[in-house]
């Protein structure tokens, strides 16, 4: 999957980052906004030496609950939607 997304997030005073709401372009080239209802897990990852933070987040999309894996890449300051778990 691995889509570049726009994200609104909280950068807390302790340095932690919490994603709140993201926006992506769907197949019909329309912007779709997803509001995160719960961050299930946060984990620093370093695959192939690239520092990133992995978030598993729940959100309700079209009245269905979904679990997303989004990632924040530390060096490039980019958010990506890595996959939709369910």
Partner 1 sequence: MDKVIFHVDVNSAFLSWSAAYRVRVLGEKLDLRDVPSAVAGSRESRQGVILAKSTSAKKCGVKTGEPIFQAQQKCPNLIIVPPDYGLYVEASRHLTALLRQVAPVVEQYSIDEAWVDMTGTEGLYGSPVAAAEMLRQRIYDEFGFTVNIGVSSNKLLAKMAGEFEKPNKVHTLFPWEIEDKLWPLPVRELFMVGSATERKLHLLGIDTIGQLAHADPAVLRQKLHKPGVDLWHSANGRYSCTLIPRPPENKGYGNATTLPADVVDAPSAYRILLSLCETVGMRMRRDQKSARCLAVSLRTNQFYTFAHQMTLPNATDSTEEIFRYACRIFDEAWDGTTPLRQLGVHATRLEESGMRQYDLFAVVSAEQYEKKAALDNAVDDLRGKYGEGILRRARFVGEKVVLAGGLSKERRTGITKPV
Give the binding site for partner 1 (CB under 8 A). Answer: 1-2, 45-50, 52, 82-83
Instruction: For 1-86, list the strands marked E by DSSP.
Output: 3-11, 17-25, 31-45, 52-61, 64-73, 78-84
**Closest CB to partner 1 among residues 12, 48:** 48
If the CB atoms of residues 15 and 49 are measured against partner 1, the closer one turns out to be 49
Task: Tell me the closest approach of the beta carbon of residue 47 to partner 1, in angstroms.
Answer: 4
Smallest distance, partner 1 to C-beta of residue 45, A = 8
**Smaller CB separation from partner 1, 59 or 81:** 81
Q: How far is the CB of 73 from partner 1 (least distance, A)?
A: 8
Query: Which residues have C-beta within 8 Å of that of residue 5, sequence separation ≥ 6?
Result: 22, 23, 24, 70, 79, 80, 81
Going by the DSSP 8-state scheme, the letter that residue 9 receives in this structure is: E
How many residues are listed for the chain in this entry? 86
């Amino acid at each position: 999957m691995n889509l570049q997304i726009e994200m609104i997030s909280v950068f807390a005073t302790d340095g932690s980052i919490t994603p709140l709401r993201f926006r992506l372009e769907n197949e019909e080239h329309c912007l779709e906004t997803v509001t995160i209802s719960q961050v299930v897990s946060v984990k620093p990852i370093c695959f192939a030496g690239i520092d990133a933070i992995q978030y598993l987040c729940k959100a309700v999309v079209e009245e269905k609950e979904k679990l997303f894996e989004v990632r924040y890449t530390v060096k490039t300051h980019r958010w990506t939607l890595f996959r939709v778990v369910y």
